[in-house]
Structure 1
Amino acid sequence: MERREFLASSSSATALALAAASGLAPAHAENAPGWNKVAFESKSLADVAKALGATSAPLESKELVLQAPEIAENGNVVRVGAQSNLANTAQIALVVEKNPSALAALFDIPAGTDASVSTNLKMGQSSNVYALAKVGDKFFYAVKEVKVTLGGCGG
């Protein structure tokens, strides 16, 4: 992949992830290449995994590392990251269990790159946060509880 192609695909994926994380998808997002409406409307980790193509339940993995604070003082800006040490990771999703739309961000990982992502998420209340990695036709997750002291999704 040429540098320009990588940057173009990265910036559009990042824009969609940021829009989803903020809860505000652009009006044209549903028509954007790669937009998965069903996944972004899902209400649970299992539903997100299914919408992304899982045929079985995701498995917990120590090779997927989730970085999130134990306590988020402001739910409007919660820094969350994930790094997959699983070979051939194709996607990483960030899922907030108690948000109105559980899927907060979805990143496509180009072949040959480090599977490491981070972004700011909004959280309306304390919740489990999941990193979900797609490797081939299998899905793996890591989870961490994040306590929110000031809500960010209308709270």
Structure 2
Amino acid sequence: MERRSFLKSFGAVAAVCSVGLPQIASADEAKKVVGPNEMSYDNAVAAITGGKPVTPSAKVVVSAPEIAENGAVVPVKVTVESPMTSKDYVKAIHVLASKNSNVRCANIYLTPANGEAYFGTRVKLGGTQDVVAIVEMSDGTFLSAKQNVKVTIGGCG
């Protein structure tokens, strides 16, 4: 096979595949998350919940260090006590940093097939602030928990 014909075929396949891939977020949702005006914590919560109330719950546990020496890589784990059955499961876990310019750190969508409602990641924190987990349940309710993290050096802000 010649190089030119290979590259043409590869380009055609790439173009077809990119059209067939699902979109992660709609254009309207992308405008809500990223834009010239940064989203405040309250606006982010409203965008996630659609204005529904958020209830603090002991079922949601946020694990993060009380003191982070480097704000660029703060480990965060969220665990939700849920049976993860077809009628009662966690639909989504949203991780927010209350004082960052972009408060939304991660959005994780789950199904009963996950078996366990658990997520771990590392987030950037621009300074001392709360890391908040907002959990959407299958019945449409929202639960939350938070952990305050003191950033000593290396904040991203």
TM-score by length of 1: 0.71
Report whether the alignment pairs 1:129 with 2:125. Answer: no
**One-letter amino acid of the counterpart of residue 113, structure 2:** G
- Look up the equivalent residue of 1:33 and give its one-letter code: I
Q: Which amino acid aligns with 1:56?
A: K
Distance 2:155 2:145 in 1: 23
Q: Does 1:152 align with 2:152?
A: no
Q: How many residues align?
A: 123
Structure 2 residue aligned with 1:43:
40
TM-score, normalised to structure 2, is 0.71
Whole-Å Cα distance in 2 between the matches of residues 59 and 83 of structure 1?
Answer: 16
Structure 1 SS opposite 2:45 = helix
Match of 2:25 in 1: 34
Partner of 2:118: 116
Q: Is contact 1:90–1:108 with CA below 8 Å preserved after alignment?
A: yes
Which stretches of structure 1, 4 residues or longer, exceed 6 Å deviation after superposition? none
Q: CA deviation at 1:39?
A: 4.2
Give the structure 1 partner of residue 91 of structure 2. Answer: 90
RMSD: 1.9
Q: Which sections of structure 1, spanning at least 5 residues, go unmatched?
A: 1-30
Tell me which structure has the larger Cα radius of gyration: 2
SS in 2 for 1:100: coil
In structure 2, give the amino acid aligned to 1:72: A
Cα distance per residue 1:79-98 (max 9 Å; x no partner): 00101114411000111001
Please state whether the residue corresponding to 1:73 is helix, strand or coil. Answer: strand
Q: 1:43 and 1:67 mapped to 2: Cα distance? A: 23
CA deviation after TM superposition for structure 1 residue 56, in Å: 2.0
Match of 1:102 in 2: 103
Q: Does the aligned pair in 2 maintain the 1:53–1:137 contact within 8 Å?
A: no
